[in-house]
Amino acid sequence: MRANDNWRLPSDEELEIAADWADRLPDLTETQRAELEAWLAAKPRHATAFALMRDTQRDTALLDAAERVRAAPAAKRSFRLSLIAAGVALVAGLSAVVLVRPYLAEKPLELATTVGQRAEHQLSDKSVVTLAADSGVSVRYGRDGRDIALTKGDAVFDVTKDAKRPFRVQAGDTQVTAVGTTFEVERVSDAVQVRVFEGVVRVSRNGSEQRLGKGQWLMLASNQAPVGGRLDADSYAAWRSDWLDADGLPLKYVVARLNRYTTQHVALHDPALGELKVTGRFKLDRPTESLTMIAALLDMQARPEGARVYLTPRRAQP
C-alpha cells in the first residue's frame, strides 16, 4: 500500500459501510459503538465517509446532484438496489462524486437540549440553530425548502440566504418563514412568540399572515388576539445570556421559561394565578434567585412539595 493511500477519497464500498453505520447510529449498542469507533480510527477516509453520510442526513439538497450525475456522459458509477444516488461533496478542497442513499436524507435530524443546557448547531447550509435550555427541533432539508419543527422550548435561527429554498419553522399551528434573517421562535405555555433580530419573516397561522421586521415581536396565544410590539435594543444579547425581561408578562409564561432551568418543577396550585402580571428582570439560569424575586414581587411564597415548588399567595396573618 502506498504511504498516502489512507488519504484517498472514500471508495464506494467504504461509503456503503459508512451509510450503514449512519443509518443504524441511534440504535447501536455499546459493543457496536466500539466497533464503529474502531472502524473510524482505522483510516482517515473512513471518518470522511461517515461525516459525508451524516451530512447527507441533514441536507437532501445533495440529491439535486444525483440528477446531474445520472444525466452526465458515461462514467463509472454503481447503484445498489436503487437506493444509492450521487451527490457532490468538497473534501480537502477537491470536488468528488459521492454515492449516497436518498432514504437516509429523508430522516429528520433531531436536536435537543436538557434542563439548564444551551447548544449551538451549524446546519449543512451554514445556517445556525441556537437552542435554549430544555428545547428541541427536528430538521428536514429538501430541494424546495428547509423545514424545522420546534417541538418544544425556544430557539434562535441565524439563516443563510437561499431564495430557492425558504427556511420554515413550524411551532404548533404557527409557521414562520424567512429567506435570510435572524429570528427567535418560542413555544411557551399555550402561546408561540416570534422575535426578529435581523431581516424580515412571515408569520402564518390559521389562514392569516403577518410580516415582522427587525426589532419587532409577536405573541400568538390560544383564544386571544395577537399582541406585539418593539424589542429593546439589547434583547438579543439578553437572550443569549439567559436574561428574561418581563413587562407585564403573565406569570404562567415566566414560570414556563423558568422551568427550563430547574429540575425542581415550579407549579401553580391555582391556574388562575398564571394570569397575574410580572414586571422585572430575571436571570433564568439562577432559578432559585429568580423564583425568590418573583414571589416577593407578587406577595407569594415558594413552597416545596416533593419534586415541585408551588407558588401560592401568602396566607393572611391572624
The answer to whether 215 and 192 are in contact (CB under 8 A) is no
DSSP states of 194-222 as a string? EEEEESEEEEEETTEEEEEETTEEEEEET
pLDDT, one tens digit per residue, over 143-156 is: 888 999 999 999 99
Nearest to 178 by CA among 163, 156, 191: 163
**Fold designation for 109-235:** Jelly Rolls (2.60.120)
User: Where does CATH 2.60.120.1440 sit in the chain?
Assistant: 109-235
The span from the CA of 59 to the CA of 75, in Å, is 25
The C-alpha angle with vertex 247 and arms to 245 and 248, in degrees rounded to 5, equals 140
Q: Tell me the average pLDDT of the chain.
A: 80
The answer to whether 151 and 169 are in contact (CB under 8 A) is no
Question: Confidence class of residue 53 from pLDDT cuts 50, 70 and 90?
Answer: confident
Indicate whether 70 pLDDT > 70. no
More confident: 292 or 41: 292
Percentage of the chain beyond pLDDT 70 is: 80
Indicate whether 4 pLDDT > 60. no
Residue-level pLDDT at 22: 79
The answer to whether 309 and 267 are in contact (CB under 8 A) is yes
Nearest to 176 by CA among 152, 144, 200: 200
User: Where does CATH 3.55.50.30 sit in the chain?
Assistant: 242-313
More confident: 118 or 16: 118
Instruction: Determine the average pLDDT of the residues in 190-207.
Output: 94
CATH hierarchy code of domain 242-313: 3.55.50.30
Burial of 141 (0-12, 13-18, 19+ CB in 10 A): buried
Indicate whether 247 pLDDT > 50. yes
Question: Confidence class of residue 108 from pLDDT cuts 50, 70 and 90?
Answer: confident
More confident: 108 or 245: 245
Question: Hey, what's the cell of 6?
Answer: 489512507
Contacts (Cβ under 8 Å, ≥6 apart) of 128: 120, 121, 122, 157, 158
Q: How many C-beta neighbours within 10 Å does residue 135 have?
A: 24
The span from the CA of 160 to the CA of 167, in Å, is 9
Question: Confidence class of residue 57 from pLDDT cuts 50, 70 and 90?
Answer: low
- Give the best-scoring range by mean pLDDT among 84-88, 98-102, 152-156: 152-156
Nearest to 242 by CA among 114, 136, 154, 137: 154
Instruction: Determine the average pLDDT of the residues in 28-40.
Output: 78
